[in-house]
Structure 1
């Protein structure tokens, strides 16, 4: 199918999703009153798409096309034009020990090893790269983490809440923190 026809189908679909209903395509410019430069191609595309059952014209009016997709048109867009969204997430779990869990496609081993000391060192290295105004609070967080690691006591509810704002600005610390907590809690 010609690219102009595919683009027209996409335009009709997008309008239907946004506004809900058939798309009106005027044949002349509203500013100048002149015919659109590609009116012949547009007429040919609409004629072809309607003849093949991809679109319908629910209403015929002078100087405009009113077009809507048929089920065949929607199926065509879904099957031929939709780019599959394939997101790959990568996590570095160096440190955590996870047993008897499937964590990857075609995993051959169900064990991953991780050590909290590595995570703490990684957090410390990242804290050193942060702006000076954030480092004070982040160093306090590091002190709290060391106490948690060596005390083997339950963590008090809300103990780390004062670090919330600085952590929002430091998303690169989240994975090392998660590794740290996995190690000391499990």
Structure 2
């Protein structure tokens, strides 16, 4: 662990760090917490980072090996951030691997649920989002439909960005619009 302090990050790791910071910035848009009712807690913020990161990773899924390698570096950075956050919260060294494993299982569970829901359409995605972000089994949270629309907006915006842009650390997410109950 201490030797990491003396290692220099590679250029790709620096880019992955930049991309991860942009994912976090998108996940911290205040509208998610003020207008969409996502809890402004460690758990709520973790859920939003997963959601925004999911859209980025989903975009890279069909790309070449270099793009997937970049995605893996961003993923590694994400979990390094989770490790760092746990340490800042005072979690002991022996407990961190268990908590990181639980976070990784949660991440993969979310990805699986979101992928399956996206195949069924926007309403199914809203139900999956309600289940994961709001802890509601019936999907009765109207804000979840707005989050599903945001995922679709991310998908559209990310399609317009090239892998070359990503490999230069450029990543753009849409702004989340205030929630409007229909």
What TM-score comes out, normalization by structure 2 length?
A: 0.26
**Which of the two has greater strand per residue?**
1
Between 1 and 2, higher relative CO (CA 8 Å, sep ≥ 6) is seen in 2
Which of structures 1 and 2 has the bigger CA Rg? 1
